[in-house]
Structure 1
Amino acid sequence: MEFNLEDFKVQGIKFNYYFVCKRKLWLFSRGITMENNSGRVMEGKTVHEDSYSRLKTREVLIDDMLRLDIMDKDFVREIKITSKMENVDKMQLLYYLYYLKKLGIEKKGILNYVKEKRNEVVELDKKSELQIEKALVEIKKILNKDKPPRIVKFPYCKKCAYYQFCFVKEAE
């Protein structure tokens, strides 16, 4: 049976948040956004704006769902500060490649890690497509819940824009 993307498609940021923190995904989807108060998010925006500024194909918006950092003839590029969340970055880029493929556009991806001055080529394969479809099904389940998923403490929580929201009781 063919997977129907129309029934499951989500914004790229929500797909990213699924792999970072399911609670963050749910909160963000309900309009609870903490990113504007985060220095780390602001740093990312600055790096993004300053990197590859000469290119004309930056900030490509697809279906009001995906905001591709850079798209050229052969590649979709995602600009990231560091590779600390490399698996998350890779899954987000694979989702973009998958989405484009469903639109009849086949490309490869490149993760540009600016501070590390390195690039990683990412290619969509059948295994990745199945992972993406499974994640999209799970995302839909999470978004349809009445309550947020329980708190799971990750090593990177303290750097998260939602940290105080989730762990306010611990500060007391």
Structure 2
Amino acid sequence: MVKLITGTLIQSYNICKRQTWLMAHQIIPDQDHPYIEMGRLIDEESYDRDKKKINFENVVLDLVRSDEGDIIVGEVKKSSRAEESARMQLAFYLYKLKESGVNARGVLLFPEERKRIMVELTPELENELEQIFKDIERVIFQATPPPFKKIGYCKNCGYKEFCWS
């Protein structure tokens, strides 16, 4: 099942289970939504000296650095507002790398805020991810999406029109 799960699903799961279901069912958010475009621009324009967009199985790493022989995987975000969901997304990437025999550390990067947060894959974090995998599986195999529930993220969501109609 973990092969079906992506970092984007992990991130959305920690914000909105309905969004997770929609993404898993290939219902694409409004790609012209200003926040999606802004995120894309920040991702493209930040950290020019790093290797960017490394594809690995069902993972797309924003950037990879080497620090004294250690591999550092970076995840670039527009804002730290959804820091926990971004942390879990990065932890998922570290988990997938570890499964393939690559030990790495992670760093969340918020260039607009000049903020960085280190992320280490601990046994506790691995267990938390494994529970999330099971619940994502439960969510995405439902016949219909979870019911709409208005939360603070709704006003900036690319699915806003879908959920509010």
Q: 2:111 aligns with which of 111, 114, 119?
A: 114
Q: Residue 45 in 1 paired to residue 40 in 2?
A: yes
SS of the residue corresponding to residue 20 of structure 1 reads coil
Unaligned runs of 5+ in 2: none
| CA drift at 1:138 | 0.7
TM-score by length of 1: 0.89
Letter in 1 for 2:24: S
Whole-angstrom distance in 1 between the partners of 2:153 and 2:13: 15
- 1:22 corresponds in structure 2 to 17
Q: Residue 8 in 1 paired to residue 2 in 2?
A: yes
- 1:162 corresponds in structure 2 to 159
SS of the residue corresponding to residue 95 of structure 1 reads helix
Could you tell me whether the CA contact under 8 Å between 2:30 and 2:158 is conserved in 1?
yes
| CA drift at 1:125 | 0.4
Give CA deviations for 1:49-90 in whole Å, capped at 9, x if unaligned. Answer: 0001232x2100001x11000112320001111100000110
TM-score by length of 2: 0.93
The answer to which structure has the higher strand fraction is 2
| CA drift at 1:14 | 1.3
- 2:56 corresponds in structure 1 to 62
Whole-angstrom distance in 2 between the partners of 1:35 and 1:128: 32
Could you tell me whether the CA contact under 8 Å between 2:10 and 2:85 is conserved in 1?
no
- 1:3 corresponds in structure 2 to none
Letter in 1 for 2:97: L
RMSD, aligned CA: 1.1
Q: Residue 91 in 1 paired to residue 88 in 2?
A: yes
4+ residue runs of structure 1 moved beyond 6 angstroms?
Answer: none
Report 1:137-148 matches (<5 A).
137-148=134-145
Letter in 1 for 2:131: K
Letter in 2 for 1:112: L
- 1:31 corresponds in structure 2 to 26
Letter in 2 for 1:68: L
| CA drift at 1:8 | 2.3
SS of the residue corresponding to residue 149 of structure 2 reads coil
